[in-house]
Amino acid sequence: MKENSYHLHDPTWCRGCGIYGIFAALKKAAASLQIPPERMVIVTGIGCHGRLNNYFNAYGFHGLHGRVLPVAAGVKLANSSLAVLAVSGDGDAYSIGVGHFIHANRRNVNMICIVVDNRVYGLTQGQTSPTSQKGYVSVSSPFGSKETPLDGPRLAIVSGGTFVARGFSGIPEHLTALIIEGMTHNGFSLIEVLSPCVTHNKINTYKWFKEHIVNLDDDTNFSAKNKKKALEVLSDQSKIPIGLLYHEERPSFDDLSLPSDTPIALTKLDVDEKKLDAIMKDFM
């Protein structure tokens, strides 16, 4: 499978939008893992990020604002042989869907979640988002945002996440490597991607992100196995660390709760009178 086997249509995001970089990295990752398109399901939220599966050659599910993670978990648990990818936004995952985000991390279903963090509500024309910085001026906060921004990876780690990473759509090779690693991780993998919205966010531009990110690969003292370290790096508000922040091996929800190795969706469906009859005896 080549990269362009996953390319269905040319996207129509604004020219220069960060999501192009994510789209490219995803195609590369899928090609590198040789995932047949029909074995891949991409579930997206509502927002500019939500268009991604319109352009990607794989099964796609575009549902409700904020509800990506429960849908994706349902898809995966019903057919564990699928590669399931959830694509969400900073509004989708951290605002309206933040309850699911927390529980997806602790539940640890074997799937990958990409949060496209453009620090703004793109699709609805530029309102302030939970990751917009304090004082951020937008149509919904003309006098500057009064709230402290939310840090997705930090929330993921304290919620029991087992694979927490952050990438930048401006460095596609680094992002591709993270996605590949996340896809091979057994459990819930979060990859937050810093992704400039060139139309609405004039603060967090490519240049701004480049000036603020630090690549953890360059820090020889850092280990993603150390939760305390991860939280420590994330607490430095002046820098935005990218790379694998935290990684833990823990049996996935699938390992712990699926009744067999045969995916539920592939089990023959019939009325098993013998088994049901035995169960009915409980009521006699």
Angle at 267 between CA 112 and CA 281, to 5 degrees: 120
> Which range, of 27-35, 131-139, 230-238, 252-260, touches another protein by CB under 8 A?
252-260
Give me the helices (H) in the chain, please: 19-33, 52-55, 68-78, 90-91, 98-107, 152-158, 172-184, 206-212, 227-235, 253-257, 273-280
DSSP string, 14-39: PTT-THHHHHHHHHHHHHHHT--GGG
**Does 118 engage in binding with Mg ion (CB under 5 A)?**
yes
Determine the residue with CB nearest Mg ion.
89
> Which range, of 31-39, 103-111, 117-125, 228-236, touches ligand TPP by CB under 6 A?
117-125
**Does 66 engage in binding with Mg ion (CB under 5 A)?**
no
Q: List Cβ neighbours of 269 (8 Å cut-off, separation of 6 or more).
A: none
By a kind-dependent CB cut-off of 5 to 8 A, residue 13 interacts, out of Mg ion, another protein, ligand SF4, none, with ligand SF4
> Which range, of 79-87, 121-129, 137-145, 226-234, touches another protein by CB under 8 A?
79-87
> What's the rounded Cα separation, in Å, for the pair 103 and 65?
17
The pairing of beta strand 163-168 with beta strand 240-247: antiparallel
By a kind-dependent CB cut-off of 5 to 8 A, residue 92 interacts, out of ligand TPP, another protein, ligand SF4, none, with ligand TPP
**Does 129 engage in binding with ligand TPP (CB under 6 A)?**
yes
**Does 122 engage in binding with ligand SF4 (CB under 6 A)?**
yes
**Does 34 engage in binding with another protein (CB under 8 A)?**
no
**Does 90 engage in binding with Mg ion (CB under 5 A)?**
yes
> Which range, of 39-47, 119-127, 166-174, 194-202, touches another protein by CB under 8 A?
39-47
Burial tier of 30 (Cβ tally within 10 Å: 0-12, 13-18, 19+): buried
The CB-of-62 to another protein minimum distance in angstroms stands at 5
Burial tier of 272 (Cβ tally within 10 Å: 0-12, 13-18, 19+): exposed
Both tokens assigned to 14: 């604004």
**Does 110 engage in binding with ligand SF4 (CB under 6 A)?**
no
Burial tier of 74 (Cβ tally within 10 Å: 0-12, 13-18, 19+): middle
Residue 185: HSE in the Cβ half-sphere, 13 Å Cα cutoff: 28
Both tokens assigned to 183: 């896809």
> Which range, of 29-37, 73-81, 120-128, 173-181, touches ligand TPP by CB under 6 A?
120-128
Residues that bind ligand TPP in the complex, under the rule CB under 6 A: 45-49, 65, 89-92, 116, 118, 120-124, 129
Residues that bind another protein in the complex, under the rule CB under 8 A: 36-39, 41, 43, 46, 51, 53-54, 57-64, 67, 69-79, 81-82, 99-100, 102-103, 257-260, 262, 264-265, 267, 269-273, 275-277, 279-280, 283-284
Residues that bind ligand SF4 in the complex, under the rule CB under 6 A: 13-14, 17, 19, 48, 118, 122, 197-200
